[in-house]
Amino acid sequence: MARFIVRRLIASIFLLIVVSAVVFLLFYVFPSADPAQLRAGRQANADQIQAIRESLGLDKSVIAQFWIYIKGVFTPLDLPGTDSHGPLYFGHSYQSNADVKDVIFSDLPATVMLVVGAVIVWMGVAIPTGIISAVRRRSFLDRATMITTLIFISAPVFWLGLVFLYLFADDVGLIPIFPGIGSYGAADTFAGKVGAMILPWLVLGLATAAIYARYLRSQMLDVMEEDYIRTAYAKGLPDKRVIMKHTLRSAITPIVTLLGLDVAVLLAGNAILTETVFNIPGVGAETFNAIKRSDLPMIQGITLFGAFFIVTLNLVVDIAYAYLDPRVRYD
Amino acid sequence: MSAAEENAAILEVADMRVWYGTRGDPVRAVDGVSFSIGAGETLGLVGESGCGKSTLGRGTLGLLPPMASVSGSVRYDGRELVGMDPKELRDMRGPELGLIFQEPMTRLDPLQTIEKHFRETLRTHEPDLDDDEVRRRSLEALAGMGIPPTRFKQYPHEFSGGMRQRIMIALALVLNPKVLIADEPTTALDVIVEAQILGILADLRRNFDTAVLLITHNLGIVAEACDRVAVMYAGEIVEQGDAREVFAEPAHPYTRELLRATISLETTGLNYIDGAPPSLIDPPPACRFHPRCPNAMAVCAELAPEETTGGGGQRVRCWLNGPEERIPEGGREPLEREEIAAAEEA
Ligand SMILES: Nc1ncnc2c1ncn2[C@@H]1O[C@H](COP(=O)(O)OP(=O)(O)O)[C@@H](O)[C@H]1O
Ligand SMILES: [Mg+2]
């Protein structure tokens, strides 16, 4: 197991370097504003811009520039023309005049809070729903649940967000019970921020819960056909124990994989729709703004940061798998 | 009737029927079956695969899938199991009624150690057992099956098929059931393991007075391990009686064909029964075996045979064995088969 983890860690770093290369190349070939020009400002003359270009290393070859970039992202070595250094130095966003890393770190708490709450909502809804639907297969309850989940899956999150705002937001809602758009940024206490997150949690949580509930149901139904479930009944075990201990235990394993990856992509900025609809200053909303402004260092930074989350959680999922399923052995 | 059956029938099944499927045409997997087993007796249930043996075994314990329906009577120790409160029946599964399944590879929960399987089984039925007692009894049952205590904490995938089947048996026996239904317990295993397991079952009825229903498609196993035999074809028991008598003097052509197939399998390996068992959605009318029967008579396609007593004291359903007075005139003529239709189909 230890050897597996070490091997995977090395592979992960290698993967991140490859991702950086791709991101860097995209950035390099992408027609964009000249960073030296942006740094020098409007009044600068050509010599000044040229001097800045040289000090940033922008006149060097692609390879040399890539080396500078990699140094900034992965090592604490000094970088030319700047007093910032890595690791995690993704560059400077001239549009927002800030270190990309600082921007991402300041956006992260809102996104983490959104994702953690949404995960609690979606697992809390999906697990009981999936179990009940599978156990009461073809009952009225099962059919009603499956139709409801289908609606939530088909509805785009931004539309669902607007519907929830229209129904429950305290400024425009029919039943004004929860804080609405922009309340997260406006809140200055933790309790205020929690209140502001209720609607986003519900929207993101329920939309994802629908997928998970259906998936868990089908997993449960598959496992219920397994021979060892019949054995469990033949031993005279109570239904509840057969379902919770034997069926759910097996059915939940693939859900864990799915959960790990979903959390990773959401942290990586995939909560973009929810964050935009509710105007939550998180990584997703930052991505949206960066794309709008063509803020390439920012896009680059968020992409790499996202890749980091995805690679890390993938590793966590693989390790968790070995604990959940004794048949899985890595060596 | 054997003495055991008469005196102490612990399990009595009467006119049991099982259908699969609620919509459309149901599969009549078991169609009016009656038998009984006494304490300490082993009844072999044989027949080709697909004739309803497993369904009969599971139906006896009320372990059928939800879309199946059951009718008839299953009496265990004087209590009626068909229609019994599910909770009450559940509590009987394990300590009273044990079941060993056919496929040992997939019968144990892959995520639980052998220890947990045993602890769960014992604690469900005897909640007051302490850990030491659970351990002692589990290891004892495993030792009886030749599984060393060092492997108690391992997972199912760490064992071979034969070992898993022995673990399954230990798991069924740790509660000392009065009735044990063993559904092809050795089919997936090699002959050496098969012999071991048959030996274990033999000990069981000698030492614990357990009634065993041994389901198999192998007549050799019945000859070796069973007191009585019931031959099943297309959802019905066509012949049943003392195993030695039935083998010495099989009264039903299907039993004869099965015997011939078994014997030749051991010698030349070339003798099978022609054709395949019929569909149980729409089985042949009258005697279900008549389309494949080498001795079929006109009556066999017209009237369902009645139960009669054969030369070895066995009960048999075949017009060859009478009753003479019920066979209509001309009924003993050989059956004219629609060969042309069959040839055209092929
Ligand atoms: N769960 C089920 N649903 C529908 N049909 C079934 C089911 N189980 C068995 N059958 C059908 O019932 C018949 C008897 O099957 P089974 O009892 O397994 O026979 P055997 O054990 O003698 O091979 C077969 O035709 C089989 O296709
Ligand atoms: Mg079978």
Strand B79-80: give its sheet, edge to edge: B27-38, B9-20, B68-76, B79-80
User: Could you give the C-alpha distances from B147 to B37, B144, B168, in angstroms and in order?
Assistant: 30, 8, 11
Which of A227, A238, A324 lies at the smallest CB-CB distance from B101?
A227
Residue B3: pLDDT band (50, 70, 90) is very low
Whether B1 has a pLDDT exceeding 70, the answer reads no
How wide is the angle at C-alpha A242 spanned by C-alphas B56 and A205, nearest 5°? 135
- Are A24 and A129 within one domain? no
Whether B271 has a pLDDT exceeding 70, the answer reads no
Which DSSP category does B303 fall into? S
- How many helices and strands in chain A, by DSSP H and E? 15, 2
- Are A111 and A161 within one domain? yes
Return all residues near B140 (Cβ < 8 A) that are at least 6 apart: none
**What ipTM describes this predicted complex?**
0.83
- Which one has a higher pLDDT value, A294 or B278? B278
Q: What pTM value is reported for the model? A: 0.84
The three-class DSSP label of residue A91 is coil
Which of A228, A236, A250 lies at the smallest CB-CB distance from B90?
A236
Asked whether residue B135 is assigned to any structural domain, the reply reads yes
Return all residues near B252 (Cβ < 8 A) that are at least 6 apart: B231, B238, B239, B289, B310, B316, B317, B318, B321
The three-class DSSP label of residue B124 is helix
* Domain carrying residue A190: 100-324
Mean pLDDT in residue range B195-206: 85
Asked whether residue A280 is assigned to any structural domain, the reply reads yes
Cα four-point dihedral sign B262, B265, B267, B272:
positive
Q: Please name which of B53, B2, B62, B52 lies closest in space to residue B29, comparing C-alpha atoms.
A: B52
Mean pLDDT in residue range B179-196: 86
- Which one has a higher pLDDT value, A120 or B343? A120
* Domain carrying residue B118: 109-171
Both tokens of residue A45?
């003359």
The three-class DSSP label of residue B33 is strand
Number of domains in chain B: 1
Q: Which of B37-41, B111-115, B132-136, B326-330 has the lowest mean pLDDT?
A: B326-330
Chain A hits for B93, CB-CB cut-off 8 Å, are 233-236
A contact residues 244-263, partner B, Cβ 8 Å cutoff: 245-246, 249-250
Mean pLDDT in residue range B306-317: 89
Smallest Cα distance from A307 to chain B, Å:
32
Asked whether residue B159 is assigned to any structural domain, the reply reads yes
Q: What are phi and psi of A140, to 5 degrees?
A: -60, -45
Does B95 reach chain A within 8 Å, measured CB to CB?
yes
Which of A228, A238, A250 lies at the smallest CB-CB distance from B108?
A228
Asked whether residue B150 is assigned to any structural domain, the reply reads yes
Q: Is B269 buried (19+), middle (13-18) or exposed (0-12) by CB count in 10 A?
A: exposed
Q: pLDDT above 70 covers what percent of chain B? A: 92
Which residue puts its alpha carbon closest to atom 25 of ligand 1?
B50
- Are A70 and A108 within one domain? no
- Are A62 and A114 within one domain? no
Tokens 């629908």 locate to A210
Query: How high is the pLDDT of residue B267?
Result: 53
- Are A234 and A289 within one domain? yes
Query: How high is the pLDDT of residue B264?
Result: 57
Query: How high is the pLDDT of residue B223?
Result: 87
Both tokens of residue B194?
């098969």
Q: Is B32 buried (19+), middle (13-18) or exposed (0-12) by CB count in 10 A?
A: middle
Which residue puts its alpha carbon closest to atom 14 of ligand 1?
B52
Which residue puts its alpha carbon closest to atom 5 of ligand 1?
B20
Asked whether residue A80 is assigned to any structural domain, the reply reads no
Asked whether residue A220 is assigned to any structural domain, the reply reads yes
Tokens 């009450």 locate to B88
The number of beta carbons lying within 10 Å of the beta carbon of residue A171 is: 11
Q: Is A209 left (phi over 0), alpha (psi -120 to 50) or beta?
A: alpha
- Are A65 and A139 within one domain? no
Residue B22: pLDDT band (50, 70, 90) is low
pLDDT in tens, A52-101: 778 777 778 888 888 888 888 888 888 777 777 778 888 888 778 889 99
- Are A183 and A234 within one domain? yes
- Are A53 and A106 within one domain? no
What average pLDDT does chain B have? 87
Inter-residue contact A276 to A160 (CB < 8 Å):
no
Chain A hits for B121, CB-CB cut-off 8 Å, are 235, 237
Does B116 reach chain A within 8 Å, measured CB to CB?
no
Asked whether residue A94 is assigned to any structural domain, the reply reads no
- Are A161 and A21 within one domain? no
Query: How high is the pLDDT of residue B4?
Result: 44
Tell me if A232 and B93 make a contact (CB, 8 A cut-off): no
Query: How high is the pLDDT of residue A331?
Result: 67
- Which one has a higher pLDDT value, A64 or B110? B110
Asked whether residue A126 is assigned to any structural domain, the reply reads yes
Mean pLDDT in residue range B248-260: 91
Chain B hits for A324, CB-CB cut-off 8 Å, are 111
What average pLDDT does chain A have? 88
Does B180 reach chain A within 8 Å, measured CB to CB?
no
- Are A64 and A111 within one domain? no
- Are A54 and A155 within one domain? no
- Which one has a higher pLDDT value, A91 or B239? B239
Does B75 reach chain A within 8 Å, measured CB to CB?
no
Asked whether residue B263 is assigned to any structural domain, the reply reads no
B67, B88, B109: best mutation site toward chain A, by most A Cβ within 10 Å?
Answer: B109
Does B72 reach chain A within 8 Å, measured CB to CB?
no
Which residue puts its alpha carbon closest to atom 7 of ligand 1?
B20
Q: Is A306 buried (19+), middle (13-18) or exposed (0-12) by CB count in 10 A?
A: buried
Asked whether residue B278 is assigned to any structural domain, the reply reads no
Residue B266: pLDDT band (50, 70, 90) is low
Mean pLDDT in residue range B235-253: 93
Tell me if B93 and A246 make a contact (CB, 8 A cut-off): no
Asked whether residue A35 is assigned to any structural domain, the reply reads yes
Q: Please name which of A161, A169, A167, A188 lies closest in space to residue A285, comparing C-alpha atoms.
A: A161
- For chain B, state the CA radius of gyration: 21
User: What H or E segment, with its residue span, contains residue A147?
Assistant: helix A140-154
Alpha carbon of B186 to ligand 1 centroid (Å): 19
Residues of chain A with pLDDT under 50: none
How wide is the angle at C-alpha A23 spanned by C-alphas A20 and A26, nearest 5°? 145
Number of domains in chain A: 2
Does A138 reach chain B within 8 Å, measured CB to CB?
no
Q: Please name which of B89, B40, B38 lies closest in space to residue B60, comparing C-alpha atoms.
A: B89
Which DSSP category does B308 fall into? E
Q: Is B8 buried (19+), middle (13-18) or exposed (0-12) by CB count in 10 A?
A: middle
**Closest ligand 1 atom to the C-alpha of B65?**
1
- Are A27 and A121 within one domain? no
Asked whether residue A83 is assigned to any structural domain, the reply reads no
Write out the DSSP string of A240-272. HHIIIIIIHHHHHHHHHHHHHHHHHHIIIIITH
Asked whether residue A92 is assigned to any structural domain, the reply reads no
Whether B340 has a pLDDT exceeding 60, the answer reads no
Whether B268 has a pLDDT exceeding 60, the answer reads no
